[in-house]
Structure 1
Amino acid sequence: MKFTLPTVAFALTATTSAQIYNESAPFRLQLVSYSNSTVNGSYLAACHSGAAIESLCLADAPSISKPNPISPSVFTFNSSDSQFVPNATLGVSGVLVWVLHGSSFNYSESMGFSVNPSSNVVLPLFGIGQPQYVAFDEHNLLNIQDYVDDTTDPATVGLYKAYYNWYSCTTYFTGYSYVTLAWALGVGKPQNPTCVKVDVKRIFV
């Protein structure tokens, strides 16, 4: 498989030369919402948001720029067998990958975050910047892990936690407005009033 530069950069962070890099079986991503029956059960699809840039749209949700539903996308998860795993139930961290299929090429893109300084809502995108490390826990729920908690004084450091700050929101990026997956920074609620709390579940195909 051909990898984008961000995905290769992830591979190069390994500390030893003899490594095995694992690509998961293909899967789809399904939203789980306990408060919104419309969002619950929706699948995610990579949708055009710029030149070789894709958001994660709700496959069956109309949007301002794309009124017709689109088909769910298939993803893979790349990780290293030497990755430090602080808590096996929370999952090993790695990179979420989607393949852009062109008329004469297949190009692997990793998911990164686009941060708008004026908002606490972050947009996951394929094909931009450095990859955002994510993990799947024992229930196949997508999370992001960290070991620094600055809600205490002094900050609590060293205890790995999994965060599930995923939302379904109407978002805007470079002229494209969709209903997409989003991430809320920190512990507060997203300032975007359209956001609905969700979990993201991996469903193997």
Structure 2
Amino acid sequence: MKFSPSSLLLGLGAAGAMAQADVQDGPYALKIVDAEDASLNGLWVDACHSGAAIDTPCFSADAAGRELFYHNHTATGEAGPLIRYFNVDTGGDTPTRVPQPLSLTYVPSTNVANGLLSVGNTDPLNVAFDAAGKLFVRDYYDDSKFAAGERPQPGSYDLYHWQVCWNLASSYYYQSLAWVTSGNPHNPTCVAVNVTRVTPED
């Protein structure tokens, strides 16, 4: 796969920013568990083409098709970007290893945010794994508790809002990993799941 120099520079810039993390764990495969539709349990997170240097976290039933991810975080904090790497042919003897951090894309018409793996992404999703290896997003405010004129105090909220949904990714239509911001998903194809990490040897 070949990309323009500008695309590669964006990817390398993101790599530099993410390299500031003290710790990189992995590689891990990501597996669907605890699905409300049991037929989804055991699916592996894969990467499906959605554009130039852009992929969607889709699924494979075959462990051989699973993608591997790394988790960057600081020594004092457990939350940080989840990254997929891939090799880019830049015309030299050795391919360049470029990161695609996981992020979420939001649109105003729905409460379902689509997962995205994109080179040059400077706003990755900060995630962590709990003691059981399940993936969560940590937030520090719950606006359902806000009161008029009273500044809220931060807390710590570990959120497990993962969904498997049929979603548009550019001109492609995939069953992919998504996130519901709150309440029931607007998209009727969505199924609530958990995502757990698995070492490649398992």
2:88 aligned partner: 102
What pairs up with 1:4-43 in 2 under 5 angstroms? 4-11=12-19, 21-43=22-44
Output the TM-score relative to the length of structure 1.
0.80
* Unaligned runs of at least 5 residues, structure 2: 1-10, 90-94
Aligned length: 181
* Unaligned runs of at least 5 residues, structure 1: 13-19, 62-68, 84-91
What pairs up with 1:16-165 in 2 under 5 angstroms? 21-60=22-61, 71-83=65-77, 92-103=78-89, 104-127=95-118, 128-154=121-147, 156-165=152-161
Q: Is the 8 A contact 1:36 1:196 kept in 2?
A: yes
Tell me: CA distance 1:51–1:34, structure 2 relative to 1, closer, same or farther (3 Å): closer
Would you identify which runs of 4 or more consecutive aligned residues in structure 1 move more than 6 Å? Answer: none
Which secondary structure state, in structure 2, belongs to the residue aligned with residue 181 of structure 1? strand
What percent identity do the matched residue pairs reach? 29
Distance 2:199 2:88 in 1: 24
Distance 2:48 2:64 in 1: 8
- Please state how far the C-alpha of 1:10 moved relative to its aligned partner: 4.4
- Please state how far the C-alpha of 1:105 moved relative to its aligned partner: 2.8
- Please state how far the C-alpha of 1:124 moved relative to its aligned partner: 1.5
Q: Is the 8 A contact 2:103 2:123 kept in 1?
A: yes
Output the TM-score relative to the length of structure 2.
0.81
RMSD of equivalent CA atoms: 2.3
2:187 aligned partner: 192
- Please state how far the C-alpha of 1:7 moved relative to its aligned partner: 4.4
Distance 2:25 2:129 in 1: 11
Distance 1:105 1:165 in 2: 34
2:175 aligned partner: 179
- Aligned residue type for 2:175: V
Which secondary structure state, in structure 1, belongs to the residue aligned with residue 154 of structure 2? strand
Distance 1:109 1:122 in 2: 17
Q: Is the 8 A contact 1:26 1:76 kept in 2?
A: yes
1:64 aligned partner: none
- Aligned residue type for 1:101: N
- Aligned residue type for 2:80: G
- Aligned residue type for 2:109: S
- Aligned residue type for 2:102: M
